[in-house]
Structure 1
Amino acid sequence: MSTASTASFSSRLAQVKPSPSVAAKARVDALRAAGRDIIDFTIGEPDFPTPEHIVQAGARALAEGATRYTGSAGTPALRRAICAKLQRENRLDFQPGQVIVGTGAKQLIFNAFAATLNEDDEVVIPAPYWVSYPDMVLLNGGTPVIAPSSAATGFKLTPEALRQALTPRSRWLVLNTPNNPSGAIYTESELGALCEVLRGFPAVRVMTDEIYEHFAYGGARHLSPLNVAPDLADRTLVVNGVSKAYAMTGWRVGYAAGPLDLIRAMTLLASQTTTCASAVGQAAAVTALEGPQECVAQARDLFEQRRDRMVSGLATIPGVSCSSPDGAFYLFPSVQGLLGKTTPQGRLLAGDPDVAAYLLDAVGVASVDGSSYGMPGYLRLSFATSAAEIDRGCAAIAQAVAALR
């Protein structure tokens, strides 16, 4: 005879939502499995395979025995390659001891918060933000403080908004440039102005998530805060990885570079959680960083063409307003002009989640609502898909909008 369990779960877990982007992708997969024709604009990864020379490097590493644990901070070869990359591409000087490799950039962001946050410490997160930042703060006992922006500021944090968000309990500012979901890229002067504010708050660390750095279009140029404020090096963590630039999302290799004491603390956590990133993934990442880089330039050019195509496709749809982003591979169009309208089935579109649901149900276009990124009234649409799908999806959105009353 069994008895009902009275075991409980962490109270922190109750504050955490499922990742909206992961949930949207799962919904797409389920609908496709059920036979629906879905145009997927939720994709947060390149739609092409890992370049062949990187795949072959992984295969060679397996054949040569790269199947065992590595050090918790990563292999010496990869940490050296990361230091060389940061110097070559970003003009940043780090030693291998200041670098940690993890199972994706997400794990390293989590570990950085876990290593530094005490109960009710605050983390300033500019909106719109990547969906996981606030929940990772909550899981580690911190309090996310959302600093607003708007289309008028280019979806970027201003010095005034940063100053208003900072308090004596602030421990981190999270910057994501190029930004997911807006594609915004901070200029040298914009970063300089934010860093000037931070100089007045010496207890605040800076986390700069640069995972989309290679996808900057037109005259836009990616810069790290350390390029304009090297005096903040003792409290800045640079987070990056090989997932986006080299189409290696499933290899799960990210890295971070920062002050030695922080990297040591994060390595301690890794030793008691994941142990290390996969040995074969790390070997392939060395080739990605040290090998030919034409694949990265080709991906950037392709994404720029797709960006322009999708912006043009949305431009003629009444009620949808979309600027052309400087970076990443997402559009963040306003759908505020659709709110208050009614679907052919009589459902009121009261908010952006309703718009996203309507597009999926009516015409099979999958997107992610802007509310999940801290900015209601918008949708995130990924252009990491084929030109044919972009054209088909924009036409379907136009059809769905035309049917509204």
Structure 2
Amino acid sequence: KERSDILLVTDDIYEHILFDDRKFLNVPMLVPELKDQWFIVNGVSKAYSMTGWRIGYGAGPQYIIKNMETIQGQSTSGATSIAQAGAQAALSESQDCVVEMRKAFQERRDLVTRMLSSIPGVRAFAPGGAFYIFPDLSEIYKKPKFQALLKEKNDDSASRVFCAHLLDHYEVAAVPGIAFGDDTGIRISYALSEEHIRKGIERLGNMIHDLD
């Protein structure tokens, strides 16, 4: 409040994918008197599985919105009308599909958390929302075979070497934690079928076993 020259952005794209009866809150809801300094970005990609439709939206101070309209109008002339109609229907019609999707994601989260936690040396924490999990592999990185692999690859990022080896030799894709500023773990998506989740985590476990 003391710095009225600062504009803050909140990304609410996962507002509907929350688990364990968590309620969605963002800072503008908690501190409404700062509404003129907050800008909210959101979209239909995650909650409604409409990633390819490329529809997002923003809410904020009027001068920001007007400038957004100017830039959007000159760069893309606006989103396709079909996609806009689809997004409007998704946002305004029954939200039963979102409830079912959230339930499915929570079941997958529980599955992937259990499976990762059963692998010796892996620490997995159940996320409160979205569809990613970030297991801690610090103990795995200490294994002599992995240390030798790090030296061989001449890479100072353990998570990057781990993910490259996992993909090249076990055909499982994950994102190195270093991309998010935390090299202690990797990011795994569970926006997959239960069958693929089981296969992927089993292969990850095989890789870790092979490092012994």
Q: Same fold (TM over 0.5)?
A: yes
The within-5 A match list for 1:269-284 is 269-284=71-86
Please tell me whether the aligned partners of residues 211 and 241 of structure 1 are also in contact (alpha carbons under 8 angstroms). Answer: yes
Please tell me whether the aligned partners of residues 318 and 337 of structure 1 are also in contact (alpha carbons under 8 angstroms). Answer: no
**1:386 match:** 193
Q: Name the CA distance, whole Å, in 1 between partners of 2:144 and 2:169.
A: 13
**3-state SS of paired residue (2:75):** coil
**1:321 match:** 123
**3-state SS of paired residue (1:366):** coil
Q: Name the CA distance, whole Å, in 1 between partners of 2:196 and 2:124.
A: 18
**Is 2:94 the partner of 1:298?**
no
* Alignment counterpart, residue 401 of structure 1, candidates 203, 208, 212: 208
Q: Name the CA distance, whole Å, in 2 between partners of 1:282 and 1:388.
A: 34
**1:216 match:** 18
RCO greater where, 1 or 2, for CA within 8 Å and sep 6 or more?
1
Residues paired across the two proteins, number: 206
The within-5 A match list for 1:116-265 is 199-265=1-67
Could you list the structure 1 runs, at least 4 aligned residues long, displaced by more than 4 angstroms after superposition. Answer: none
Which amino acid in 1 is paired with 2:29? N
Q: CA deviation at 1:341?
A: 2.7
Q: Name the CA distance, whole Å, in 2 between partners of 1:271 and 1:348.
A: 49
Q: Name the CA distance, whole Å, in 2 between partners of 1:276 and 1:369.
A: 35
Which amino acid in 2 is paired with 1:357? A
Q: CA deviation at 1:241?
A: 0.6
Q: Name the CA distance, whole Å, in 2 between partners of 1:243 and 1:348.
A: 37
Q: Name the CA distance, whole Å, in 1 between partners of 2:207 and 2:165.
A: 8
**Is 2:139 the partner of 1:337?**
yes
Q: Name the CA distance, whole Å, in 1 between partners of 2:35 and 2:170.
A: 49
Please tell me whether the aligned partners of residues 368 and 379 of structure 1 are also in contact (alpha carbons under 8 angstroms). Answer: yes
Give the structure-2-normalised TM-score: 0.92
**1:357 match:** 164
Q: Name the CA distance, whole Å, in 2 between partners of 1:280 and 1:364.
A: 37
- Bigger proportion of residues as helix: 2
**1:163 match:** none
The within-5 A match list for 1:34-49 is none
Which amino acid in 1 is paired with 2:188? L
Q: CA deviation at 1:291?
A: 1.1
**3-state SS of paired residue (1:348):** helix
> Share of identical aligned residues, percent?
37
Q: Name the CA distance, whole Å, in 1 between partners of 2:179 and 2:23.
A: 27
Q: Name the CA distance, whole Å, in 2 between partners of 1:367 and 1:342.
A: 22
Please tell me whether the aligned partners of residues 341 and 348 of structure 1 are also in contact (alpha carbons under 8 angstroms). Answer: no
Please tell me whether the aligned partners of residues 342 and 348 of structure 1 are also in contact (alpha carbons under 8 angstroms). Answer: no
Which amino acid in 2 is paired with 1:371? I
Which amino acid in 1 is paired with 2:32? P
Which segments of 5 or more consecutive residues in structure 1 lack a partner in the other structure? 1-198
Which amino acid in 1 is paired with 2:171? G
Please tell me whether the aligned partners of residues 270 and 276 of structure 1 are also in contact (alpha carbons under 8 angstroms). Answer: yes
**1:366 match:** 173
Which amino acid in 2 is paired with 1:374? G
Which amino acid in 2 is paired with 1:364? E
Which amino acid in 1 is paired with 2:191? A
Report the aligned-residue RMSD: 1.5
Which amino acid in 2 is paired with 1:400? M
